[in-house]
Amino acid sequence: MEIPSKLSAGWAIVFWKRDPLSRSHRGDLTLDAPFPILILSALAFYFALRFLRLRKGVRELAIALTAGADELNLTLTPSTAQGELALLCKAVGNTVSEAALVRDSERRQREFQEALLNEIKDAIFILDRNREIRFVNRAAQLLFPSDQPYRARAFLDVCRDHRVYDTLSLAEEIGAKASDNLSLRVHSDTKKGFREIALLVEAEPLTFGGSAENTGSWLLMKDISRQLETEQIRRDFVANASHELRTPLSIINGYLETMDDTEVDLSQALYRRAIRTMRKHGERIARIVEDMLTISKLESAADLLKCERFDLRDSLDDMISQLMPIIEQKHARVIVKADPNESWMLIGDRFYWDQIFFNLIENALKENPEPGLKINVTFRIESGRYFVTIADDGIGIPAADLPLIFKRFYRVQKHHAQSQVKGTGLGLSIVKRAVEAHHGKIEVESQPGVKTAFTISVSLPPATKASDLPLGRESKDEQG
């Protein structure tokens, strides 16, 4: 038989073996028949082994990827990490490592941005195009507490005020920032129930990732209750101060116009009385200005007090001495009760404590015009604090006025005659701010017709030195 030149030798043997004309070799057919089968079996075994190795390598690679392996531990066993599979493993490992780095970088950036937003005291919402919450900061969670997760919830489920929703709709409609001021009832932090706050609500459309289809909006809610309250206090203060200054100035100007005549005899009793009245109102104007400056210093520089070690009893005794003419004029008595064996030393600004004692005692004397007033000043130590109570047995303060007496220019003096020169209305306001500047508290209680008591509490100073302890104090139980 003639064999084609392009056929391999193996196929030539097969054809040759199957050629019936080759009778001379018919006996060899039985002997050589397993040879091609062995070759085919070897080839099948080789390819099967390659397939199993590839399958095992792919399975190991899949397991490593599922386990979140990085480039360093994304390795195969030596039996599978060969050839193209090793190259594939390395390429996949590099890709996974790069993806992990990008993911970690984005996660760190997101955590950093969320940390910054959580530090903002204003409530912030970030919503998607369906107005579902994508992010909410800590301030917003405190403003709208909920037991359910915030993300992927409809904004209206968290904030049910339609005015906020209308502001958000307006911002989306005009494609720009929209804002509104409104009052909102929210959960109270200190007590059960709700409280009403004033909010500045701002909203603006937002695009995520630069895609026009991935849009949403952000919403900011700023609590402006304190700001509005401060603004109202400022307006009230200006109005009250203007009124308090205008009244005595009008009286003074009226008298001056009357006396501005060459024929007026200023030695007459009428004009002498007018001069005394003008002097009193001039002193009142000076006192108002001085008190306003004192309040301004306390509010703007409470941490700049000139602190020194001094005796509270000495401060009280000095103020009683200054007020002694009024005490004697009103036939009043000031009784001081304090343990003479205790050291009533305090670290603070002596000037402002003089103001505290002076204003409280003077206020008791002025608010009770009837003679025979008794004022008790009691010192005691309890729970590591000084407690100083200044109480009088005068007409008292109505319960409706008690919450207001520390406000500027507020007076409780319905019993006073209209002709009497009024006080500044700033004394108790100075007292309260001076006590608070020393990290203390002041409380008042009153029973009309029975008593009025102001109690000041302030922390004791550090352990008193032995040299500061009094060797003995003369009894000053009663003065006046």
Out of 3.30.565.10, 3.30.1490.270, 1.10.10.10, 3.40.50.360, select the CATH number for domain 306-479. Answer: 3.30.565.10
pLDDT band of residue 413 (cuts 50, 70, 90) is: low
Left (φ > 0), alpha (ψ -120 to 50) or beta: where does 372 sit?
Answer: left
Secondary structure of the chain in the HEC alphabet? CCCCCCCCHHHHHHHHHHCCCCHHHHHHHHHHCHHHHHHHHHHHHHHHHHHHHHHHHHHHHHHHHHCCCCCCCCCCCCCCCCHHHHHHHHHHHHHHHHHHHHHHHHHHHHHHHHHHHHHCCCEEEEEECCCEEEEECHHHHHHCCCCCCCCCCEHHHHCCCHHHHHHHHHHHHHCCCEEEEEEEEEECCCCCCEEEEEEEEEEEEEECCCCCCCEEEEEEEEECHHHHHHHHHHHHHHHHHHHHHHHHHHHHHHHHHHHCCCCCCCCCHHHHHHHHHHHHHHHHHHHHHHHHHHHHHHHHCHHHCCCEEEEHHHHHHHHHHHCHHHHHHCCCEEEEECCCCCCCEEEECHHHHHHHHHHHHHHHHHHCCCCCCEEEEEEEEECCEEEEEEEECCCCCCHHHHHHCCCCCCCCCCCCCCCCCCCCCCHHHHHHHHHHHCCCEEEEEEECCCEEEEEEEEECCCCCCHHHCCCCCCCCCEEC
pLDDT band of residue 125 (cuts 50, 70, 90) is: very high
β-pair partners for 458: 386
pLDDT of residue 456: 94
pLDDT per position as a tens digit, 5-14: 443 444 443 4
Closest to 121 measured CA to CA, from 92, 90, 143: 143
Is 190 or 40 the better-scoring residue by pLDDT? 40
- The second-level CATH assignment, the architecture, of 120-223 is 2-Layer Sandwich (3.30)
Q: Beta-carbon neighbour count of residue 285 at 10 Å? A: 16
In sequence order, what are the residues at sequence separation of 6 or more whose Cβ sits closer than 8 angstroms to the Cβ of residue 102? none
The number of CA neighbours under 13 Å toward the Cβ of 253 is 6
Is 242 or 333 the better-scoring residue by pLDDT? 333
pLDDT of residue 46: 81
374-382/333-337 β-pairing: parallel
User: What is d(CA 390, CA 377) in angstroms, rounded to the nearest whole number?
Assistant: 5
User: What is d(CA 117, CA 109) in angstroms, rounded to the nearest whole number?
Assistant: 12
Long-range contacts, 239-245 (Cβ 8 Å, 24+): 240/408, 240/409, 240/425, 241/288, 241/292, 241/409, 244/288, 244/409, 244/424, 244/425, 245/285, 245/288
User: What is d(CA 203, CA 164) in angstroms, rounded to the nearest whole number?
Assistant: 9
Q: Where in the chain is the domain with CATH 3.30.450.20?
A: 120-223
For the chain, give the percent of residues with pLDDT over 90: 17
**CATH number of this structure's domain 226-300:** 1.10.287.130
User: What is d(CA 379, CA 385) in angstroms, rounded to the nearest whole number?
Assistant: 11
User: Per-residue pLDDT averaged across 374-388, rounded?
Assistant: 92
Among the residue ranges 63-77, 152-166, 309-323, 382-396, the one predicted with the least confidence is 63-77
pLDDT of residue 178: 92
pLDDT per position as a tens digit, 435-463: 988 889 999 998 888 889 999 999 888 76
Q: Where in the chain is the domain with CATH 1.10.287.130?
A: 226-300
Among the residue ranges 209-218, 400-409, 440-449, the one predicted with the least confidence is 209-218
pLDDT per position as a tens digit, 247-271: 778 888 887 877 777 666 767 777 7
User: What is d(CA 236, CA 230) in angstroms, rounded to the nearest whole number?
Assistant: 10
pLDDT of residue 375: 92
User: Per-residue pLDDT averaged across 119-135, rounded?
Assistant: 90
Burial 230-245 (b: 16+ CB within 10 A, else e): eeeeeeeeeebbeebe
Please provide the average confidence, as pLDDT, over all residues in the chain.
77
pLDDT of residue 273: 81
Rounded (5°) CA angle 292-293-298: 100
Asked if pLDDT for residue 464 goes beyond 70, the answer is no
User: Per-residue pLDDT averaged across 97-102, rounded?
Assistant: 81
pLDDT band of residue 201 (cuts 50, 70, 90) is: very high
User: What is d(CA 123, CA 143) in angstroms, rounded to the nearest whole number?
Assistant: 7
Is 36 or 469 the better-scoring residue by pLDDT? 36
Phi, psi of 124 (to 5 degrees): -130, 130
Report whether 76 contacts 85 (CB < 8 A).
yes
Report whether 407 contacts 273 (CB < 8 A).
no
User: What is d(CA 222, CA 181) in angstroms, rounded to the nearest whole number?
Assistant: 10
pLDDT band of residue 387 (cuts 50, 70, 90) is: very high
pLDDT per position as a tens digit, 270-329: 777 888 888 888 877 887 777 777 777 766 655 567 888 899 999 999 999 988 988 888
pLDDT of residue 209: 65
Length of the chain: 480
